[in-house]
Amino acid sequence: MTIDNLKSPDLAAPHPATADRPATAGRPATAPSAASTTDLLRLDDLHISVHHGAATAVRGISLGIRPGEIVGLVGESGSGKTLTCRAALGVLPDGCIIDRGSITFAGRDLTTLSRRGWEDVHGSHMGAVFQDPASYLNPSITVGHQLAEVLRVKLGLSRRAARQRSVELFTAVGLHQPEHVFHQIPAELSGGMLQRVMIAIAISCDPELLVADEATTALDVTIQAEVIELLRRLRAERGLAVLFVSHDLAVVAELCDRVVVFYAGEVVESGPAAEIIERPRHPYTQALLRVASVGDFRRRELEVISGQPPQVGEDITGCRFAARCPAAADACRSGPIAPVTVDAQHEVRCVRAQEAWAAGELAAR
């Protein structure tokens, strides 16, 4: 099932990330220590403004993804998580500008990349799937043809070879009867099958990174579970790193090695998924966990986070969550809050992160 020589010779040119990329076997579930591996994708102090610079929507995001790692970005709508991943993909919507910061992918600076450079990065090194697969596919052309076309253009395969490889890829993403699916147009396929087709296209040129922006949001839970399983398997088989964006903490917790929690354009907490779920330090993460459908079916009090998040572009001195925070103190509003490392790889942007209340709050849960 593995498609090992997908890469054409010219694209197989070594670049830093491939060196330490796991060849075939899945990497261990625990994230490797920071020192041992370099990040595949690295965002540093990223600032993005919307409405042609009128409002800053993303304020100093820093995060990294190692080869073969699944990182989840979670947050409410308007928290900047989608903008961040669009910036990494180089497909920011009109009027959005990267004001400051760097995006490095396998040693390349993406913020200054030319059109040509992006053409090389897209597909060959970075794939993407979005929420609504139907709108990314031509409705009148068979999905097989659309995948084969990518293979022919990007890898220079012959018609016959592209066809064969398409069927292999459809098999790899778990599509039943791939030969049959090859000849179907998007309207004949269900949402889950279309998302598998999109994933097949995204991984067709064997990228190192897959960006999945709300890729499972519109799917039925049973199909969502299957797509999550598929992403997990692709990571195991191909060492594919995944940047998974979702507003659903439970989905992120289910799939990801590491979770990055966004709030109002900032990262408020990041760390290993199990750590974030079991020992959330930021009051916002704790609140998110309380309101999220954590996947149990017990009857429980339906909690809400009181208040509204700040508007996009609103400048706030101190912590951006302070207005809604049950534990806000004067120190929270006096000046900018720097991220604190509480544990290995667990960072929290909260002045009270170390205090006992965080643990106590948790115990009360």
Partner 1 sequence: MTAPAPAPHISPQDAPLLAVESLDVILGRGWRATQVLSGVDLAIGPGEIVGLVGETGSGKTTLARTVAGLVSPAGGRVVFEGTTISALRRGARRAERRRGHLQLVFQDPLRSLDPDMTVAGIVGEGVRLQGETDGSEIRRRVVAALGQVGLDDSLLPRTPAQISGGQRQRVAIARALATEPRLLICDEPVSALDASNRNYILRLLDQLRTSLGLSIVIISHDLSSLAGIADRIVVLYRGRIVEDGPVDQVFAAPRHPYTALLMASAPSVRHDRELSPQQLTRTVAEAVALPEDLLAGLGGPDACVFAPRCAFAAAPCATQPPLVPAGERRSVACHRHDEWMTLARERAAARTSDRNGDRSRGRTTEGQLA
Partner 2 sequence: MKRLIGPQSVLRLPSARIAIVVLLGIAVLTAFGSTLAPQNPLTINANALFQGPGAHHLLGTDYLGRDVLSRLMAGTRLSVLTALEAVGIGLVLGTGPGIATVFLGRWFDFAANRVTDALMTLPYIFFAVAVTAALGNGLVQAMVPVGILLAPFFFRITRAATLEHARAQYVEAAELMGASKLHVVRVHVLRKVLPTIAVTTASMTAAALLAVSFLTFLGIGVQPPAPTWGGVLSSDLDYLAQAPWAPFIPGALIAVTVGALNALADAFRDRRGAGTLAAQPGPIIRTHSTLEPADDDRQSQVA
The residue ranges that bind partner 2 (CB under 8 A) are 50-51, 77-78, 82, 93, 131, 213-214, 217-218, 247, 308-309, 311-313
311 binds, options partner 1, partner 2, none, Cβ within 5 to 8 A by partner type: partner 2
**Contact (Cβ atoms closer than 8 angstroms) between residue 193 and residue 175:** yes
Residues near 32 by beta carbon (within 8 Å), at least 6 away in sequence:
66
354 lies in the site for partner 1, by CB under 8 A: no
Which 236-265 residues touch partner 1, going by CB under 8 A? Answer: 236, 247-251, 253-254
190 lies in the site for partner 1, by CB under 8 A: yes
**Contact (Cβ atoms closer than 8 angstroms) between residue 154 and residue 204:** yes
134 lies in the site for partner 1, by CB under 8 A: no
Applying CB under 8 A, the span of 38-46, 80-88, 94-102, 228-236 interacting with partner 1 comes to 228-236
| Least distance (Å) between residue 259 CB and partner 2 | 18
291 binds, options partner 1, partner 2, none, Cβ within 5 to 8 A by partner type: partner 1
User: Binding string to partner 1 for residues 283 to 312, with x set by CB under 8 A, is what?
Assistant: ----xxx-xxxxxxxxxxxxxxx--x----
364 binds, options partner 2, partner 1, none, Cβ within 5 to 8 A by partner type: none
Which 169-188 residues touch partner 1, going by CB under 8 A? Answer: 174-177
| Environment class of 362 (CB within 10 Å of its CB; exposed 0-12, middle 13-18, buried 19+) | middle
Checking DSSP bridges between strand 209-213 and strand 126-129, what pairing results, if any?
parallel
Element (H, E) at 249: helix 249-255
Compute CA distances 247 → 3, 72, 74, 273, whole Å.
33, 10, 5, 15
76 lies in the site for partner 1, by CB under 8 A: yes
Q: CA 268 to CA 179: how far, in whole Å?
A: 46
| Environment class of 330 (CB within 10 Å of its CB; exposed 0-12, middle 13-18, buried 19+) | exposed
92 lies in the site for partner 1, by CB under 8 A: no
| Least distance (Å) between residue 313 CB and partner 2 | 8
Instruction: Work out which of 99, 109, 179, 229 binds partner 1, going by CB under 8 A.
Output: 229
Applying CB under 8 A, the span of 91-99, 100-108, 110-118, 223-231 interacting with partner 1 comes to 223-231
Compute CA distances 340 → 199, 302, 344, whole Å.
36, 31, 11
| Least distance (Å) between residue 224 CB and partner 2 | 15
63 lies in the site for partner 1, by CB under 8 A: no
Q: Which DSSP symbol is given to 320?
A: T
Round the CA-based radius of gyration of the chain to a whole number and report it. 21
Residue with smaller CB distance to partner 2, 66 or 247: 247
Instruction: Work out which of 166, 224, 285, 286 binds partner 1, going by CB under 8 A.
Output: 224
Q: What is the DSSP string of 73-113?
A: EE--TTSSHHHHHHHHHT-PPTT-EEEEEEEEETTEESTT-
Residue with smaller CB distance to partner 1, 115 or 300: 300
CB count in 10 Å sphere of residue 160: 9
Residue with smaller CB distance to partner 1, 228 or 268: 228
The site for partner 1 (CB under 8 A) is made up of 26, 29, 76-77, 174-177, 190-193, 196, 220-226, 228-230, 232-233, 236, 247-251, 253-254, 277, 287-289, 291-305, 308
